[in-house]
Amino acid sequence: MIENVKPLSRNSYDTTPVHPSASHKRPLSDHGSTQTDVAPKSLAVPAKSGAQSRLDPFSGDWTIFAPHRTSRPNQFGKVLQVVNKTAVTCPFCAGEEELTPAASWAARIDCNDRFLVFGDPTDVDALDWSVRVVPNKYPVVTDCSSNRDTDIEHAKKQAFQQRANRAESLFQSRELVGGHEVIIESPNHVQSISELDLAETKLLLYAYQQRLRYWKNQNGIQYISLFKNVGGDAGASLQHSHSQLIATDQIPSHVETVSERMRSHQAKTGCCLQCDIVRAELKQKARIVAQTDSLVAYCPYASRLPMLVRVTTKDHQNDFDNLSLPVIDELARLLQRMTGWLETMIPDAAYNVLLHTRPPGSSANEEAFHWSLEFFPRISRLAGFEWSSQSMINTVLPEVATEKYRECAKAEDPRRVL
């Protein structure tokens, strides 16, 4: 019904978390318990156990096993190709909503470019959507949203008892609990951010904020990954433009290492590490790709990947979901411009977008952590040295990458170049 629709104008910003409906027609999984540092009863993953995380005793890293994801449909196959919309039924297109689980969140854009968030995303009126969020049919985590508090508390008690009996086990595993969502970015069959209009891109970023807030409020969630894969080389299996969110009850060791470095820098200097880097980059200017009133885009000095651009706020902000609507507007414009520059250099480029915001379980406090977004094409492959050493070889200096982006920006509009 229309009274379930909540308007959001260009100049307003709703900080109230938008919760999905209490029940889902098609939940991620029918399992709900979790185990921490527990050895498996056998080396085989039971068919109905959902996702499982296993500890590598050498590196201390946890590997997520989700073999059921091999059943995902793949429109790219072994060779990157473009499948015509008329040749395949796309589950993300308008009119095909029955091919996905029931929506967790939905919104549309009205004729005045206002965001209208549906109070009930499963209501018939919500079929007139612009952005739609659904549970992933092939989740990498076990969902226990129906009884999250009970399941996680039970798992903690069970894990404590089993750790006492298996303290020296070399084969530790645990069930990975959380949520896995797909954020469908348009009802139209588009593939890239460059094909969205500005209002759609703004609504997409607003949807990011709302889903981050929702999952941060769920008991036991320690980490939230929000990312976008475009093209088969970037990990996409479906062409239709979409992002994904994975919330887990376990924080990855690499993420915790980064958080700890931020915390340590702030404790020693009294300053945020990202803020210090931004100030230094703005002073040198050699790696600055673009600026807005609130944002800066730069190629990191020690970039691990060629042509990678990092975007963040000039002023300190720890959480992406706390950005104001005017800053979201700036980010939407900048993200569209950067995508256009990349696709000018590399037509039909495969690329990834990664959003880093302070994890609920991070050791870094609000003063130490600073959100960022990373954008990069997939133009290199990992080889033996990278796999053996976990050290990256980057064939494009960030200063060179910056110049390439600037050249595209100059061709687009000479007045907007640094």
Q: Is 189 marked within a binding site?
A: yes
Is 254-416 in the same CATH topology as 2-14+24-220? yes
Question: What DSSP character marks residue 257?
Answer: H
How is the chain split into domains, by residue range?
A: 2-14+24-220, 254-416
| pLDDT tens column, 137-149 | 999 999 866 555 5
C-alpha to C-alpha distance for 413 and 215, rounded to whole angstroms: 40
240 annotated as ligand-binding: yes
| 90 annotated to a ligand binding site | yes
pLDDT at residue 390, as a whole number: 87
Cα–Cα distance measured from residue 194 to residue 174, given in angstroms and rounded to the nearest whole number: 40
**Looking at the annotation, which residues are catalytic?**
242
pLDDT of residue 65: 79
The pLDDT tens digits for 20-78 are 333 333 333 333 333 333 333 333 333 344 677 887 766 677 777 777 766 666 555 54
Burial 377-408 (b: 16+ CB within 10 A, else e): bbbbeeeeeeeeeeeeeeebebeebbebbbeb
The CATH superfamily assigned to 2-14+24-220 is HIT-like (3.30.428.10)
pLDDT less than 70: residues of the chain: 1-50, 57-59, 69-87, 144-168, 416-418
Cα three-residue angle 160-161-164, rounded to 5 degrees? 85
H/E segment holding residue 164: helix 148-165
Structure confidence at residue 230 (pLDDT): 96
The verdict on pTM exceeding 0.75 is: yes
User: End-to-end alpha-carbon separation of the chain, Å?
Assistant: 49
pLDDT computed for residue 81 by the predictor: 46
Q: What is the pLDDT of residue 110?
A: 93
Please indicate if the annotation marks 68 as binding a ligand. Answer: no
Q: Does domain 254-416 have CATH number 3.30.428.10?
A: yes
Residue 58 pLDDT:
60
What is the reported pLDDT for 120?
A: 94
